[in-house]
Amino acid sequence: MKTTIPKLTAIGASAMVIMLLSIAFPGTAQQNPALKDEEKPTIILVHGAFADGSSWNKVIPILQKKGYQAIAVQNPLTSLNDDVAAVERAISEVKGKVVLVGHSWGGAVITQAGNNDKVKSLVYVAAYAPSEGQSIDSISREAYGERKVPNVPGFNDPVITDGYIRLKEEAIIKYFAQDLPLQEAKNIAAGQGRFHVSTLTAKITVPAWKDKPSFFVVADHDQIISPQVEAEMAKKIHATTYHIPASHVVMLSKPAEVAEVIVNAAGVK
């Protein structure tokens, strides 16, 4: 009697290969298993200057579809201490572990707030990563003044009213969000938060990146923070570094890529 061996489909063949590998080499098929839902940390997203929590509106749905809880903090932008306190309130609401993600000025905020024991990793997105005793002003002075790193034009002509800074609409369109559709950039300009001048010189006391795994997105077309300065900060803090060809608002122009970095940070042991 002739025995007919059924032809494997592509999916069936793949399953057979995985099964055989698992038998021959135990553990090979699942070297990097996905986190179970109960193991997933909460993602706390910290916006920068001239922004609000809506900065993360394109990243949040991607994280949620992957089973992560996400909190977008609304920073008052009145001082480093006030912004850190806002992040600490969000951390206090979470039962398990946390990944802190900071954009731009938000990088300084998570550097200070990330010392909380719940924080398992840090993600810097086109952000500042100050050392102890540094401020974003001292980082800029050292880079653009002392070392003569080519400056970027986005922050050259801000508007200051009663000690609060904002960017002109034309600066948002040309330098802050130049890879977004025009109307989206105009919406950012209209809704931007005002940033108090005291934040520029506020110094970090204990930088969390010294003790926490760090990840860094360098926005290669950034015109607010020099991409070279971002890359240097990433190297300084020994961060796992990703280069994305995008503007300063890389989380809005390349949300899938940024979300992938965050998920990688969430999976670090």
The helix (run of H) or strand (run of E) holding residue 75 is none
On whether the CB atoms of residues 204 and 132 are closer than 8 A, the answer is yes
Cα–Cα distance, 110 to 80 (Å, whole number): 10
Residue 161 CB neighbours (<10 A): 8
pLDDT tens-place string over residues 40-72: 999 999 999 999 999 999 999 999 999 999 999
Residue 190 included in any domain: yes
Domain extent, residue 71, equals: 37-266
* pLDDT for the residue 34: 66
Cα–Cα distance, 135 to 142 (Å, whole number): 11
- Name beta bridge partners: 265: none
* pLDDT for the residue 17: 33
Q: What contacts 184, CB < 8 A, 6 or more positions away?
A: 177, 252
Residue 15 included in any domain: no
- Per-residue pLDDT for 249 more than 70? yes
Cα–Cα distance, 148 to 220 (Å, whole number): 19
- Name beta bridge partners: 70: 43
For range 188-215, the mean pLDDT: 97
Q: What is the mean pLDDT of the chain?
A: 89
Residue 133 included in any domain: yes
- Per-residue pLDDT for 26 more than 80? no
Residue 231 included in any domain: yes
State pTM to two decimals. 0.86
pLDDT tens-place string over residues 98-153: 999 999 999 999 999 999 999 999 999 999 999 999 999 999 999 999 999 999 99
Residue 6 included in any domain: no
Residue 19 included in any domain: no
Using 50, 70 and 90 to split pLDDT, how confident is the model at 269?
A: confident
SS3 breakdown of the chain: % helix, strand, coil, rounded to 5?
45, 15, 40
The bridge status of strand 159-161 relative to strand 98-103 is unpaired
Using 50, 70 and 90 to split pLDDT, how confident is the model at 2?
A: very low
CATH assignment of the domain containing 111: 3.40.50.1820
Residue 125 included in any domain: yes
Q: What contacts 71, CB < 8 A, 6 or more positions away?
A: 42, 43, 44, 45, 90, 93, 94
Residue 159 included in any domain: yes
Q: Which tokens sit at 84?
A: 């850190």
Burial tier of 186 (Cβ tally within 10 Å: 0-12, 13-18, 19+): middle
Structural domain total, the chain: 1
